[in-house]
Structures are given as structure tokens and as C-alpha cells.
């Protein structure tokens, strides 16, 4: 197997082949924080994430997977995991030192009343979370050692 550059590993996160996308997740978690800047470059990549390794094996949540000839219902469209969301989730996972720290890579607003919380990756939520992660990344390395990269967005992972 050829040795891949950091850029190639992070680019494979957007592979349409589930095995390649999952292998990229494993390598990204192994290589850790040095890939954060490259992961941030996935901002705006709304291609569906083909892998399955981001999902907590204990989670009972079902997420839609877009396939050719099958249209995702409007009610489920913001529950599709995209390459940009996978990259953002991995930044948080690297910071925590573990991949399965939440049930699924879906954003929620803890300020919403519990009975009416929306768990979804709307474009607005993802943009705010990316803004927070980019601000966090620009801080000095010591400040980055603690804290959640998306905390200042007001959202957390489900």
C-alpha cells in the first residue's frame, strides 16, 4: 500500500468508497492534531460522507445515506453527514482523544427547550460551528489543548 501524504489522507475523507472514507478516519485519528488545518479545508464540502466509522456503535439513531435514485425526504435532509461535517466532527474527536464521544455527528442547540430540540446539521449551524473551530484553531497551541473547538458556536454534538 502506498504511503499517502497528509493532504491525501484528509482528501480521502470525501471518498465515495466506504472503506476508503473509514480508513481515512482511522488515519486521521491516529495522526491527530497536525491534520486540523487540513480538516478545516473541507468547509463547504457538502458531498455525503460514505463511511460508517463516525457513528457511535451504541447509538440508536438512524441517519439517511443518499443513494442514486433515492431522494432524501425534506425532514431528513439535514441529518445526512457530509464531508464537511465529518471533518468538523473529527476536529472535536481529535481534541477529545476519542472518536465516539457522542451518539452521532449531528449538531444540537442545548439552549432549545428539551422537548423541542432540533438535532440537525443545517447550513447555518455548520457555518457557525466552522467559524468557532477556525477561531479556536487560530489561538495559540497552549490554549487549544483544552476546550471544545465548537463551543463558542453555541452548539454541541448530539
Q: What one-character-per-residue DSSP string does 6-48 give?
A: HHHHHHGGG-SSHHHHHHHHHHHHHHGGGGHHHHHTTTT--SB
pLDDT at 12: 97
pLDDT at 157: 95
Beta bridge partners of 156: 108
DSSP 8-state assignment for residue 156: E
Confidence category of residue 93, pLDDT binned at 50, 70, 90 = very high
Confidence category of residue 147, pLDDT binned at 50, 70, 90 = confident
Residue that has been written with the C-alpha cell 487560530 in this structure = 138
Using alpha carbons, select from 13, 35, 10, 31 the residue that is nearest to residue 22. 13
Residue 25 belongs to some domain of the structure: yes
Residue 105 belongs to some domain of the structure: yes
Domain count, the chain: 1
What is the distance between the alpha carbons of residues 84 and 49, in angstroms, rounded to a whole number?
8
Sign of CA dihedral 100, 53, 55, 134: positive
Residue 55 belongs to some domain of the structure: yes
Residue 1 belongs to some domain of the structure: no
**DSSP secondary structure, 70-121, as one string:** BPPPGGGGGGSPBHHHHHHHHHHHHHHT-S-SSSSS-EE-TTS-GGG--B--
Per-residue pLDDT tens for 27-79?
999 999 999 999 999 999 999 999 989 987 766 556 777 777 778 888 888 99
Per-residue pLDDT tens for 2-15?
789 999 999 999 99
State which residues form the domain around 60: 6-157
Confidence category of residue 133, pLDDT binned at 50, 70, 90 = very high
pLDDT at 140: 76
Average pLDDT over residues 78-82: 92
C-alpha cell, 135: 477561531
pLDDT at 59: 64
pLDDT at 4: 92
Q: Are 32 and 76 in contact (CB under 8 A)?
A: no
Q: At what angle do helices 18-31 and 83-96 cross, to 10 degrees?
A: 30
Q: Which tops the pLDDT comparison, 36 or 147?
A: 36
Q: How many angstroms separate the Cα of 106 from the Cα of each of 66, 115, 151?
A: 16, 17, 14
What is the distance between the alpha carbons of residues 121 and 140, in angstroms, rounded to a whole number?
28
Residue 104 belongs to some domain of the structure: yes
- Is residue 132 over pLDDT 70? yes
pLDDT at 60: 57
Amino acid at each position: 500500500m502506498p504511503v499517502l501524504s497528509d493532504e491525501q489522507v484528509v482528501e480521502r475523507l470525501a471518498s465515495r468508497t466506504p472503506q476508503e472514507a473509514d480508513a481515512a478516519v482511522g488515519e486521521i485519528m491516529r495522526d491527530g492534531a497536525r491534520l486540523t488545518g487540513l480538516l478545516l479545508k473541507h468547509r463547504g464540502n457538502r458531498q455525503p460522507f460514505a463511511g460508517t466509522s463516525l457513528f457511535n456503535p451504541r447509538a440508536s439513531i438512524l441517519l439517511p445515506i443518499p443513494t442514486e435514485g433515492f431522494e432524501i425526504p425534506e425532514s431528513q435532509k439535514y441529518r445526512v453527514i457530509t464531508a464537511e461535517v465529518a471533518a468538523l466532527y473529527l476536529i472535536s474527536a481529535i481534541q477529545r482523544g476519542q472518536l465516539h464521544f457522542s451518539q452521532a455527528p449531528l449538531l444540537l442547540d442545548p439552549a432549545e427547550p428539551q422537548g423541542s430540540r432540533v438535532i440537525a446539521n443545517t447550513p447555518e449551524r455548520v457555518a457557525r460551528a466552522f467559524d468557532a473551530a477556525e477561531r479556536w484553531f487560530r489561538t495559540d497551541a497552549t490554549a487549544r489543548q483544552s476546550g471544545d473547538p465548537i463551543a463558542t458556536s453555541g452548539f454541541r454534538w448530539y
